[in-house]
Amino acid sequence: MIGPTSPILLILLRMMQGLSVGGQLAGSYVLSIEQSTKKNRGFRGSVCDASAAGGFLLASAISTLTRHIFSEETINAWGWRVPFWFSVLIAPCLYVVVGHTEESKFWSERVEQKETEKIIREVEENYKPAVYDLLASPFRRRQLLGAVGVLCTMTSSFYLLFLWTPIYLSDLRDLVDTKTADLITFVTVSIYILLLLGSGWLSDQFPHRSDLIKIGPAGVVVCPLSMFGMFESGSIAGIFVGQLQFAVCLAFVQGGLAAWEVELWMADPSLSFTGVAIGHNLAATFFGGTMPLIATSLFYASDGWCSEEFALFCRLIPGFYVSILAMISLYCLSYVVRHPHDIVTGERILRSAKRLRRNREREEKKRKAIELSIQN
């Protein structure tokens, strides 16, 4: 009714929502994990992710319920507003929770230490924001870039599986109607939340949680392709199983990932929020937020130039994009990011190896000296 002002307002409001979500999710990671122990960081981090997925589940439930209660004409007229009205009830609750949340003791202690150092050294005029400290170090820049590379699989897969797939099934391919697509997604997200909590708990049982996380990207290399292939069966059971097997692999990626993100920056807790927020939101913006656009573009592009004999292969093309991102994540997780566990253990092993080599070199020199003296 208000013309072009409507999409402009929608974009501005969505940006405001993004600023809120981007800060709150990263903050929940840091506050929850910094106040936990080494034995339950993974599980508590998975609770944060499960809560985020729970919000998506709630939105999916309300959307599905709205479609079942109202007719298509009513939804197009005014019923589409009902889910947004419901979200208004949640905002005051969030405001109360955030207002009564305290900073973690690690952050407070580190900030107090830095304040004391500033007073002693009298360098208040040279104060720089945390983001400057984060980007000033080559090692931290590498950590940040590697974190974005690791997170690209999780963010892109989540948007593909739970946001774009229902649209693909109903609007793009007309394999099922919108109500059925939403219902399948609702059931899949419900199971995914349980898998997420289990994966988070399981990550705490490993000596190093990245050993478990690596299983996820390896599975995601294959799962999107098999999911789109199973969609071509046209059966509801095949569609559900296709989404479920992808959700299982994604849960292995995301379960311990929140704890892993915070642990990257726990050496300096005053940078943990900044590091987690920038890394997570960059990945969410460039790989998650663009996922529906890229997947839709790949669908139409492949649909336009593929012949009938290669029709099945063309249906897999959006999945190939996620598979490539999964390979990038696996590489970053293995060779780019230095987790604190790797740094401590690796440096200790490296020092031991160097010490052993020096001892062997000394022993070899002594042996040669003795042999030379005997020959003389």
User: pLDDT (tens digit, 0 to 9) for every residue of the chain, 376 residues total?
Assistant: 888 998 899 889 888 877 777 777 788 888 888 777 778 888 888 988 888 888 888 887 888 788 788 888 888 888 888 888 887 887 788 788 777 777 666 555 555 555 555 554 544 455 567 787 788 888 889 999 999 999 999 999 999 999 899 999 999 999 998 888 888 988 999 999 999 999 999 988 887 888 888 888 999 999 999 999 999 888 999 999 999 999 999 999 999 898 898 888 877 777 888 888 899 999 998 999 899 999 999 999 887 777 777 778 888 999 999 999 999 999 999 899 887 765 544 445 545 656 777 778 788 888 888 877 777 7
In this structure, what token pair is assigned to residue 263?
A: 């642990």
CATH superfamily membership of 17-69+135-338: MFS general substrate transporter like domains (1.20.1250.20)
In this structure, what token pair is assigned to residue 303?
A: 């649909």
- In the block, residue with structure tokens 């593909």: 160
Q: Considering Cα of 253, then 256, then 258, then 262, what sign does the dihedral take?
A: negative
- Residue type present at position 258: A
In this structure, what token pair is assigned to residue 13?
A: 């409001």
